Amino acid sequence: MPPPPAPPRYEQVSIADVGTPLAQVTFVVVDLETTGGSPKDSAITEIGAVRVRGGQVLGEFQTLVDPGHEIPPYISVLTGITSTMVATAPRIGAVLPAFLEFARGAVLVAHNAPFDLGFLRAACAENGMAWPAAASVDTAVLARRLLSRDEVPNCKLATLAPYFSATTSPTHRALDDARATVDVLHGLFERLGPLGVTTLEELTGLTRQVDPERRRKRHLADAVPHGPGVYLFRGPKDEPLYVGTSGDLRSRVRSYFTSGEQRSRITEMVGLAQRVEAIPCAHALEAAVRELRLIARHKPRYNRRSRFPERALWVRLTEEPFPRLSVVRRVRPDAGVFLGPFPDRRAADAAVAAVHEVLPLRQCTARLSPRTPVNACALADMGRCGAPCTGAQSVPEYAGVAAVFAAAVGHDPRPLLGPLLERVDRLAGEERYEDAAVLRDRVAVLVRAVRRRQRLASLAAVPELVLARPDGEGGWELSVVRYGRLAAAGNAPRDSTVRSVLSGLLATAETVPGTDAEHPTTVDETELVLRWLEKPGTRLVQLTGTLACAAPGTGAYSGFLARVEAGRDASDPFADGRSLGTRARPERIASPA
């Protein structure tokens, strides 16, 4: 007798591998007519939507909307909607609840979805309504994936509708265009069968161009735990390719193998990755600090946008009889006064130029001796230097000028910044607005650098402090900080006390030597700790030493910085391409008599 047939084998698949069949998905195809191209300065004039499932139309939604202002004539010519037509129509705040109810539980579809959905999101935000967390499909993107140039010259709705024999022609009216988009959507769905795309998840992945090779590497995330921490993608030689951090390691690492990750360089990185190393951390601060340290140590090639400590620049007031300002990369003890760090050379040069506006510090690079006079340069004739090289300025006289910069960095920037701001106001009063704006931006760079330097120095001088933050579950996240460096991190669960956990944490904390260096750790790490300290809800549990801000400090210049930020059109404060020198002779801070 033949052996009995083997029983069928069943395989348990993960939730991520279970898809929703397209035939069971409800879609709401929506189209808008608006008064312009951006929700920042335009409004919706008409909404049209069609609800479909399994190829059957379940309902339609259409309404005109009063945009609150006149419709431009060229828009009326394009859409046929005039200001008279919408005069009695409801405002968008009254229309949105009905539309959101119509679209409840459905996948939103639009042709050029960022445009239509962007207007709807903006309208919801403006009217205090929550935008539903719904999936979306862009038929324009889907058409680009499925159709070739031999079939259609472009993927405009007016081109696709006749190609798929749509029963309704697009007319730049919302409901007609939504009906045409329904037919285009169904025509595109017919192209999915040969590709094996049968579920909503596969459809979403197709529109986002997920590399199959990347998807096959999902197993690299199998051993990654949940919770906060740092992850490292390692390459064929076990070299670190990329370092990242997350509050949920497993979810974040899994996202690299789905359609949510679209960066081309990350796609290349995932293709090279052979394994993922996870480092669980006690909380987000420890994860951020470990990420900084790992990037600085390994310099992964795919972390090219990260900040490397050795790239920071400082402005140094040198230690010599006649000190000068120099831009350097290293902070060395007993080597002068240091201001910074600055992100790039242009920022450092802007701060130096601002200082030279009011302080007649020498700008030559030669080492000068009080006993060997030399000829003066052109800056002395221009009044931009006290000419110590000629003997016209003694060492004590010159030291009085340099002391203004040292005091500004240490605690009191008023003698340095006061004349600069007066000059900005005077230039504006003389209607030299361009010159005033250039000097204003340089002063802003200088103020920010002084403020950052003083705040970091105050924390870096503290031998030890212990911080605690609520973890949201009745417990506490603990951090031990020594000289601005995170020395230990831990958690005090809900059923324990902070003191009981803290004793063990302090005993195992890293020993950080109190050196004479500017920073026993990187500035970026100290700044992370400082931001953690200043977060609402953070408590100072224990302190050794003194934590205090320099007085009078830069608090008086907060309003100035706020005005600069509010009045700046561009994000780059160094957009001016002119030389950092000044043409007019500025007022100088004279050396004390």
CA 110 to the chain's CA centroid = 29
Chunk the chain into consecutive blocks of 10 residues (it has 593) and report each block's average pLDDT, rounded to whole numbers: 49 47 92 91 94 94 94 91 93 94 93 92 92 86 85 91 93 94 93 78 66 75 91 94 92 78 76 92 94 90 68 84 86 78 87 88 76 66 70 80 88 89 90 89 90 86 91 91 92 87 89 63 86 90 86 83 72 46 43 43
Task: Indicate if 127 and 75 belong to the same structural domain.
Answer: yes
116 in Cβ contact with 157 (< 8 Å): no
| Both tokens assigned to 176 | 């007609």
| Domain end position, chosen among 256, 280, 306 | 306
State both tokens at 445: 């760079």
The pLDDT assigned to 552 comes to: 85
Per the document, the length of the chain is 593
Q: Answer whether residue 156 is part of any domain.
A: yes
- Please tell me whether residues 315 and 302 are part of one structural domain: no
The CB-side HSE value for 267 (13 A sphere, CA atoms) comes to 14
Q: Are 411 and 550 in contact (CB under 8 A)?
A: yes
In a shared domain, residues 46 and 185: yes
CB 250 within 8 A of CB 221: yes
Nearby residues of 462 by Cβ (< 8 Å), 6 or more positions away: 481, 482, 483, 484, 543, 544, 545, 546, 547
Q: Which domain holds residue 268?
A: 211-306
Locus of tokens 């579950």:
473
- 51 and 105 fall within a common domain: yes
What local confidence, expressed as pLDDT, does residue 45 receive?
A: 95
Cα–Cα distances (Å) from 99 to 24, 81, 397, 524, in that order, read 22, 20, 76, 47
CATH code: domain of residue 245: 3.40.1440.10
The C-alpha angle with vertex 40 and arms to 35 and 46, in degrees rounded to 5, equals 30
Sheet holding 229-234, edge to edge: 240-246, 229-234, 275-280
DSSP 3-state of 128: coil
**β-strands 325-328, 464-470 pairing:** unpaired
Give tens-digit pLDDT for 16-40: 444 678 889 999 999 999 999 888 8
Same domain, yes or no: 74 and 217: no
| Helix/strand number for the chain, H first, E second | 19, 15
Is residue 556 in some structural domain? Answer: no
CA distances from 272 to 294, 297, 298 (A): 19, 21, 17
Confirm whether 2 is domain-assigned: no
19: amino acid identity, one letter = G
Q: Is residue 345 packed enough to be buried (19+ CB in 10 Å), middle (13-18) or exposed (0-12)? A: exposed
Distance CA 18, CA 64 (A): 40
> Whole-angstrom Cα distance, residue 425 to residue 227?
53
Are residues 252 and 395 part of one domain? no
Q: Alpha-carbon torsion 123, 88, 104, 199, what sign? A: negative
Instruction: Supply φ then ψ for residue 348, to 5 degrees.
Output: -60, -45
CATH classification at residue 77 = 3.30.420.10
Question: pTM to 2 decimals?
Answer: 0.59
Preceding peptide of 552 cis, ω within 30°: yes
Token pair of 135 as six digits: 């999936």
Q: Mark whether 280 and 335 lie in a shared domain.
A: no
Max Cα-Cα span within the chain: 119
Give the C-alpha separation, 586 to 345, whole Å: 24
Cite the beta strand spans of 203-267 per DSSP E.
229-234, 240-246
What pLDDT is recorded for position 591? 45
Q: Is residue 481 part of a domain?
A: yes
Which amino acid appears at position 218 of this protein? R
What are the distances in angstroms from CA 140 to CA 10, 145, 421?
39, 9, 53
pLDDT single digits (tens) 85-130? 999 999 999 999 999 999 999 999 999 998 999 999 999 999 999 8
Output the six-digit token pair for 78.
């394009």
- Are 198 and 272 part of one and the same domain? no
Sheet of 44-53: strand order equals 56-64, 44-53, 26-34, 107-110, 136-138
Same domain, 34 and 167: yes
Residues 384 and 526 in one domain: no
Given 382, 416, 447, which residue is the final one in a domain?
Answer: 447
The answer to whether residues 44 and 183 belong to one domain is yes
For residue 384, tell me if it sits in a domain: yes
Instruction: Name the pairing type of β-strands 136-138 and 325-328.
Output: unpaired
**So what's the pLDDT on residue 380?**
67
Catalytic residue among 172, 186, 298, 411: 172
Is residue 39 a part of any domain in this protein? yes
Report yes or no on 186 lying in a domain: yes
Q: Which amino acid makes up residue 261?
A: E
Residue 3 included in any domain: no
CA separation for the pair 244, 269 (Å, rounded): 13
Q: Are 302 and 510 in contact (CB under 8 A)?
A: no
| Residue 476 near residue 460, CB atoms below 8 Å | no
Tokens for 62, please give them: 């259409």
Those residues whose C-beta lies under 8 Å from the C-beta of residue 73, and which sit 6 or more positions away, are: none
Q: Count structural domains, the chain.
A: 4
Structure tokens, 418: 């006061």
Question: Do the Cβ atoms of 51 and 102 come closer than 8 Å?
Answer: yes
* 69 labelled catalytic: no
Same domain, 274 and 407: no
| Residue 82 exposed, middle or buried by CB count within 10 Å (0-12, 13-18, 19+) | middle
**Count of alpha carbons within 13 angstroms of residue 273, beta-carbon side:** 32
Q: Are strands 313-317 and 337-342 parallel, antiparallel or unpaired?
A: antiparallel
The fraction of the chain above a pLDDT of 90, given in percent, is 34
Give me 67's structure tokens: 């945009």
Question: What pLDDT is recorded for position 570?
Answer: 46
Q: Report how far residue 115's alpha carbon sits from residue 127's, in angstroms, rounded to the nearest whole number.
A: 19
